[in-house]
Structure 1
Amino acid sequence: MRIKNPWAQNPWFESVAVAQERARKRLPQPVYGALVGGSERGQTLSENETAFRELGFAPHVAGQQAERSTQTRVLGEDVSLPVLISPTGVQAVHPDGEVAVARAAAARGTLMGLSNFASRSVEEVAAAAPRTLFQMYWTGERDVMVQRMERARQAGVSGLIATLDWSFSIGRDWGSPEIPERVDLRTMLRQAPHVLRRPRWLAAFARNGGFPDLTAPNLAPPGGPSPTFFGAYYEWMTTPPPSWDDVAWMVEQWAQLGGGTFVLKGVCRVDDARRAVDAGVSALSVSNHGGNNLDGTPAAIRMVKPVADSVGDQVEVLMDGGIRRGSDVVKAVALGARAVLIGRAYLWGLAANGQAGVENVLDILRGGIDSALMALGLSSVEELRSEHLLVPDGFHRVLGDR
């Protein structure tokens, strides 16, 4: 007689690695492949995670604090843990997409990042999570960018993220998954072998009105239709890259709208960090676009301390790339990051169990942060410093300090 495992259908998971495995089993292969791949050989993607292994701790055996706090203040907001939701593109891993993520962020007391290329509108997401940061790429004419800023501000977002760490270096040695321009009958027939192998994923979308239409509603002109994902992508590719004067212009326009905090995402070099300060940003994020930009860029965690040291307390420093557990968060904060942003980790949680799965991921990270604080004898994340880590010689990468 076969005994059924009582935990087999338990939606809760105990680690981000388990969430990833559940996402792999639930999603059609092309959808899962879009989440896990990095550019070219995937060197930076891999290094983002493995670099954390080189950092160690020296825990205490007694005298730890009975009460500990993971709370901090980031971008002018009190958050329950130093982990923010990084903006990611069309979230077709779950029917509720960005709205489910926003609700999870609000429920767990942190900030939501919403992408230019999101599948849900800024109005929907800001209603679900009032503390939403709207992400913009440098795409389109200046008057169009201002329109998008105004719309985000009217929706009630609390800040802007300008993401510039992208050079369209997207070729993958193992092949890139196909992203259709629209989900029509021909596309469904072509993708049927993949989709039919994942009946639960298919049923979830069927119960919610069908597949996403792969448009970018936040890039729609006033009163006009949303562009397709590839239409929006073409606009982005054909817009001349921004200068530092353009960055300063974005900061100025956002300030004139009363928009509050302005985060520049994608900083790797200390000279760029200093120029970002000169441009007037209120925060910057050390990032290599999760390994999806120029392959061979060092792991983000290796660049945090040099960048943080170069700007001091002039701006807040965030970091994203390779965060998979609470101890990773602690290491980043100890090296000078005010907080981290997560991407793939919460997308796997979303794929595994919707809003509850994203909350599950945030709870995992909070638990790991608390455990590390306890072992280190600290009572708060505010007390973390680089001396709490074992950092091998040559770990940091100082780029552009010449």
Structure 2
Amino acid sequence: MSKISEIMEKNPWRRNPWFETVGEAQRRAKKRLPKTVYSSLIAGTQAGITVNDNVDAYGELGFAPHVIGTTPERNLTTTVMGQELPFPVMISPTGVQAVNPDGEVAVARAAANRGTAMGLSSFASKPVEEVTAVNDKIFFQIYWLGSKEDILARAQRAKEAGCKGLIVTTDWVFNVGRDWGSPEIPEQVDLNAIAKLAPEMITKPSYALSWFRDGKLIIPDLSAPNIAHKGQPGPTFFDVYGQWMNTPPPTWEDLKWLREQWDGEFMVKGITRIDDAKRAVEIGATAISVSNHGGNNLDGTPATIRVLGPIADAVGGDVDVLLDGGIRRGSDVVKALAFGAKAVMIGRAYLWGLAANGQTGVENVLDLMRMGVDSALMGLGKSDVAGLSRDDLIIPEGFERVFGAE
């Protein structure tokens, strides 16, 4: 064993004890990560109005508990896009997970160990084949990027790798202006980039050491291997950016075409309006995600929990309705289910867990979500997540927002 490997083996961050809240995972992630890397995990568009509202809106909702007659056993299971989940939380697709050397593979293992599903980003740092090898409940997320032939080739590669469904993300406008300043992301991690980040890395030795294996430095991969054909090197994010900016945004006819090419489960992600939800049903989607891209799309868009209920009322009988945005605890999950979601997708929460303690940290976050859902059900006197409704909530006047109603 090399000296560096010996140091890593003894380093306490590798065996961090259990953290009891997602907020503590975030605190540990901030402490461990270089400022530039951590900033990418909390970034929001422009003034951050939406990213803040995504979280704060849950605090406006109360519970109407039943303390007598609580059942000793509670059913947390649900089914999303044909996959049975032991509790109503799955992993949302997020791009390049350079907070940990194992990235998406570590996250996929954690999700598999807890029996849940994972959305894998087109901009993941690990090839889809490596991720499906450790978790058989993977949904591949795809952007409208390049020609139809390019898009179809990526979808076909995902299917051949064993992905169970497709997630088409539509809520992204490439607005990179943030009032507090955006983190600078290098085009590739070369010697110049390493030298520039060295002052930050020196102050975060546990993060720096995590990129050494057997005494050798593992260069973080900022390429997107799932954009390329299988076996070919992935382009850098900035290479993809130029192609993306030259690709016209999809129409509903385009999405219908892709749906017709894909014979499995099909989610449209980025819905905040009732009319768009109905169009997704019309093109044959089997699921939608009520999403504003975690506050990284159009700033000023309301929190997803505010628009969820009317959308679920309109199309919940036709498609699986999911929500992402702002979930920090199991009680948030329960509030989303009470408005009609079948499950939620978490993003920042598991990334903080990954940064804090690798695969174990992601498992820790998922355990917190599961236990929080169970505790909230117990307090509400519910025996099954399927029995949740608005009657279980105290909803302030004017909380819900309705857009695109006929």
Q: Please state which band the TM-score falls in when normalised by the shorter chain.
A: over 0.9
Matched, 1:337 2:341: yes
User: Are 1:349 and 1:357, in contact at CA under 8 Å, matched by a contact in 2?
Assistant: yes
Instruction: Give 1:224 deviation, angstroms.
Output: 3.2
Matched, 1:380 2:384: yes
Count residues with an aligned counterpart.
Answer: 393
TM superposition score normalised by structure 1: 0.95
Q: Which residue of 1 aligns with 2:276?
A: 272
Q: Which residue of 2 aligns with 1:54?
A: 60
Q: Which residue of 1 aligns with 2:143?
A: 137
2:133 corresponds, among 127, 131, 139, to 127
Matched, 1:356 2:364: no
User: Are 1:63 and 1:377, in contact at CA under 8 Å, matched by a contact in 2?
Assistant: yes
Q: State the distance in 2 between where 1:134 and 1:213 align.
A: 20
Matched, 1:219 2:227: yes
User: Are 1:267 and 1:273, in contact at CA under 8 Å, matched by a contact in 2?
Assistant: yes
Q: Which moved more, 1:63-72 or 1:134-143?
A: 63-72
CA-based RMSD of the aligned residues comes to 1.5
User: Are 2:212 and 2:218, in contact at CA under 8 Å, matched by a contact in 1?
Assistant: yes
Equivalences for 1:21-100 in 2 at 5 Å?
21-100=27-106
Q: State the distance in 1 between where 2:353 and 2:92 align.
A: 14
Equivalences for 1:301-340 in 2 at 5 Å?
301-340=305-344
Q: State the distance in 2 between where 1:8 and 1:238 align.
A: 43
Instruction: Give 1:211 deviation, angstroms.
Output: 2.4
> SS of the counterpart of 1:399?
coil
Q: State the distance in 1 between where 2:187 and 2:77 align.
A: 42
- CA distances 1:258-293 after superposition (whole Å, capped 9, x unpaired): xx1100000011111111111111100000000000
Matched, 1:369 2:373: yes
> SS of the counterpart of 1:128?
coil
- CA distances 1:209-255 after superposition (whole Å, capped 9, x unpaired): 41212110001135532111111222222210000000101111112
- Which residue identity is paired with 1:35? L
User: Are 1:27 and 1:198, in contact at CA under 8 Å, matched by a contact in 2?
Assistant: yes
Instruction: Give 1:60 deviation, angstroms.
Output: 2.3
- Which residue identity is paired with 1:129? N
Matched, 1:154 2:160: yes
Over the matched positions of the two proteins, sequence identity in percent amounts to 59
Q: Which moved more, 1:335-344 or 1:224-233?
A: 224-233
Q: State the distance in 2 between where 1:280 and 1:8 align.
A: 46
Q: Which residue of 2 aligns with 1:300?
A: 304
> SS of the counterpart of 1:398?
coil
User: Are 1:170 and 1:293, in contact at CA under 8 Å, matched by a contact in 2?
Assistant: no
Q: Which residue of 2 aligns with 1:204?
A: 210
Q: Which consecutive residues of structure 2, in runs of 5 or more, have no partner in the other structure? A: 1-11
User: Are 2:329 and 2:369, in contact at CA under 8 Å, matched by a contact in 1?
Assistant: yes
Q: Which residue of 1 aligns with 2:252?
A: 244
> SS of the counterpart of 1:162?
strand
- CA distances 1:158-180 after superposition (whole Å, capped 9, x unpaired): 00000010111221001100000
Q: State the distance in 1 between where 2:371 and 2:350 align.
A: 15
Q: State the distance in 1 between where 2:168 and 2:20 align.
A: 33
